[in-house]
Amino acid sequence: MMIRPLATAALLAALPAAGQDRPSDEDLFGGTASPPAQSGPAAAAPQRPSDEQILEGRVGGLSSSGPTVKEDPLKIGGLLYLRSQGQWQQGLPPSRWSLTAPSLVDGYMDVRPNDRVRGFLLARLSYDLSASTSGSSTTSLRLDDASGGSGTFLGTSLQNPTLQLDQLWVAFDVARTIFVTAGKQHVKWGVSRFWNPTDFLHPSARDPLSPFDARTGQTMLKLHVPWEKNGWNFYGMMLFDESQQAGKLGRIGAAGRVEMVLGTAEIGIDGLVQRGRDARLGIDFSAGIWDLDVYGEAALRKGTDVPRVRGVYDTYSPDDFRPSGTLGASWSYKYNDEDTFTLGAEYFYNGAGYSDSSIYPALLAQQFVDRLGHFTPFYLGKHYGGAYLLLPKPGRWNDTTFTFSAIGNFSDQTMVARLDYSVLLLTYLTFEAYVAGRFGQRGGEFRFSVPASAYPQLLSALPLQSQSLLAGTLQSLSAPPVIDFGIGLRVSL
């Protein structure tokens, strides 16, 4: 069997977010002359201009005589995504099971006046049908990252609905050699399926089980220089701070990445420096070994993104080096003339994680106070493992996909296993459903609960108003989860 290149592994690694229905940026400048918008080892080499173009001076500018003018330069489209998800908690009657309905609408405008210039806008309207419709809602913590990816919210006032800007960028080329993208955009680094420790350009981690990556883009200036002779790619980024400290020249950061092809392996090396964030370095690889696609990532940073917690409302900032890394492999088998299935497994070492689950309630309380990401599911422990089975279009079910995923926190001995089902209906309509079971010790990450005996200590250091909000959160977490379930409908245009 022929060894599959990295493009296969990269595609499989991106499958959890593949259903976003956002237009691909791989044809940024009309196809042949474009780099991919998300940096990856499978970057396409640009088409060099002809000698006639160089002699006539028709490259290197925005001259209308050079680029090919398009007859239909504006495309408008979007996504309507309705979801409903619930959770069965141990010992509670069905009438008290949680039920949420986080829905969203994406709308985009894609402007391509010629094959060398492109502008793109994507705005998102999020609305929780199960929350207050009075313009804002106050919610308690919802640990639903493994049951739909709507994120974690801590007892805070949230607008409902919420309008967000996901992408707003302009792209062009300089002499068909340097490709420039400026504005709010998505650039994802890393090749792993579940965890991406080298994904430095996103300030928040991706939910590894969610079929939809709801994170918004980051504001940056990106330069891409391909070396097509060797299949290498060079990237440089100027990063603009979007935190509360934004608006200062000194907050601008820099990042860079090089992607190399070495025999049957492809390697990426990247780094980031920015004031207010610890410098970090990363490397990822993917290679074909026999019938396996083997991949991995390693990241090194000094300290952690958020302060460490060692007790209730007791934090400190470490200054030692904290490595993180993944190692995984996938295997595909063609079981008849048209159908294949893929098996994969992945290990994740999280240098910023905790070995003892008894600290989890303190992480929750501290996050409630400072709104930092102390309690981030799938990133709480030190050691994780994941496995999956992908079964696309089996037999005559050419519009159906089954995905089975399982993730375990080895540090606290809990696990979540999830089965996803999706089917395309009526060309533009997709129906989704899932069910997930949670296993292991009570109080661990995937069986998290807070005993009533811990309430007084967690509430004692908060103002009275905050105490009432945290108390509601703790009460909702008094019973550990057993099963998650949900359905969804997507309409894509």
How far is residue 152's CA from residue 271's CA, in Å, rounded to a whole number? 28
Query: Residue 158: its pLDDT value, please?
Result: 62
* pLDDT reading at 378 higher than 70: yes
DSSP letters for 172-195: EEETTTEEEEEEEE-------SS-
Query: Residue 136: its pLDDT value, please?
Result: 43
* pLDDT reading at 54 higher than 70: no
How far is residue 302's CA from residue 419's CA, in Å, rounded to a whole number? 37
By C-alpha distance, which of 27, 66, 65, 68 is closest to 46?
27
Query: Residue 348: its pLDDT value, please?
Result: 98
Per-residue pLDDT of 57-104, as tens digits, reads: 333 334 444 677 777 899 999 999 999 999 999 999 999 898 999 999
Query: pLDDT band for position 130 (50/70/90)?
Result: confident
Query: Residue 287: its pLDDT value, please?
Result: 96
- 238 in Cβ contact with 224 (< 8 Å): no
Helix, strand, or coil here: 340?
A: strand
Per-residue pLDDT of 396-447, as tens digits, reads: 999 999 999 999 999 999 999 999 999 999 989 999 999 999 999 999 999 9
pTM: 0.82
Q: What percent of the chain has pLDDT over 70?
A: 80
How far is residue 297's CA from residue 40's CA, in Å, rounded to a whole number? 13
Q: What domains are there in the chain, each with its CATH number?
A: 6-492 (2.40.160.10)
By C-alpha distance, which of 366, 381, 358, 318 is closest to 450?
358
* pLDDT reading at 151 higher than 60: no
Query: pLDDT band for position 250 (50/70/90)?
Result: low
Per mean pLDDT, which range of 12-21, 252-261, 410-419, 436-445 is the poorest? 12-21
Query: Residue 172: its pLDDT value, please?
Result: 97
Query: Residue 132: its pLDDT value, please?
Result: 61
Per mean pLDDT, which range of 30-39, 152-161, 186-195, 325-334 is the poorest? 30-39
- 118 in Cβ contact with 170 (< 8 Å): yes
Q: ∠ at Cα 323 (286, 404), nearest 5°?
A: 50
Per-residue pLDDT of 271-305, as tens digits, reads: 999 887 888 999 999 999 989 999 999 999 988 88
Torsion of CA 273, 278, 327, 342, to 10 degrees: -70
How far is residue 366's CA from residue 351's CA, in Å, rounded to a whole number? 20
